[in-house]
Amino acid sequence: MTDDRQLLQLLFDAAVTATSPAACVPLWLEDKPRGRVIIVGAGKAAASMAAIVEQEWGPPLEGLVIVPDGHIADCDYVEVVEAAHPVPDERGVAATRRILDLVSNLSPDDTVVCLLSGGGSSLLCAPAPGVTLEQKKTMTGELLKSGAPIQEINAKRRELSAVKGGKLAEACAPAQVITLIISDVPGNDPSVVASGPTIVDAASALEADVRILATSDDALQAAALRALDLDLTPHLLGDLAGDARTLAIEHAQLALDVAAGKGPVEPPCVILSGGETTVRVKGDGRGGRNGEYGLALALALDGHPRISAIACDTDGIDGCGDNAGCMVFPDSLRRFAGDVHRIREKNDSYAFFKDLGDLIITGPTRTNVNDFRAILIR
Tens of pLDDT, residue by residue over 99-113, are 999 999 999 999 999
In terms of Cα–Cα distance, which of 304, 281, 275, 300 is closest to 350?
281
From 214, 232, 252, the end of a domain falls on 214
pLDDT confidence bin for 324, thresholds 50/70/90:
very high
Q: Does residue 337 surpass a pLDDT of 70?
A: yes
Predicted confidence band of residue 186 (pLDDT cuts 50, 70, 90): confident
Domain holding 233: CATH number?
3.40.1480.10
Q: In this structure, are residues 370 and 216 in contact, taking their beta carbons and an 8 Å threshold?
A: yes
The whole domain housing 174 covers: 21-214
Query: pTM value?
Result: 0.91
Considering the domain architecture, whether residues 210 and 303 belong to the same structural domain is answered as no
Contact 168, 106 (CB under 8 A): no
Q: Give the rounded distance of the alpha carbon of 198 from its chain centre.
A: 19
Going by pLDDT thresholds of 50, 70 and 90, the confidence category of residue 202 is low
**C-alpha to C-alpha distance for 26 and 95, rounded to whole angstroms:** 27
Based on the fold, state whether residues 120 and 242 are members of the same structural domain: no
Average pLDDT over residues 138-149: 73
Please state the separation of Cα 191 from the chain's center in Å: 16
Q: Enumerate residues 6+ apart whose C-beta is below 8 A from 67.
A: 42, 43, 44, 46, 47, 80, 81, 82, 83, 119, 123
Using DSSP's 3-state secondary structure scheme, residue 199 falls into coil
Length of the chain (residues): 378
| pLDDT of res. 203 | 64
What value does the mean pLDDT of the chain take?
93
Is residue 1 scored above 60 in pLDDT?
A: no
- Residue 128 neighbours by CB distance under 10 Å: 15
DSSP three-state, residue 91: helix
What average pLDDT does the segment 229-249 reach?
96
Three-state DSSP state, 133: helix
Q: How many domains in the chain?
A: 2
Cα dihedral: 6, 372, 310, 119 (round 10): 100
Percentage of residues of the chain with pLDDT beyond 70? 97
Same domain, residue pair 72 and 109: yes
- Cα(267)–Cα(232) distance, rounded to whole angstroms? 8
| Per-residue model confidence (pLDDT) at position 289 | 94
Q: What pLDDT sits at residue 134? A: 83
Given a cut of 60, whether residue 373 has pLDDT beyond it is yes
Whether 146 and 179 share a structural domain: yes
User: φ and ψ at 80, to 5 degrees?
Assistant: -115, 125
pLDDT at 2: 73
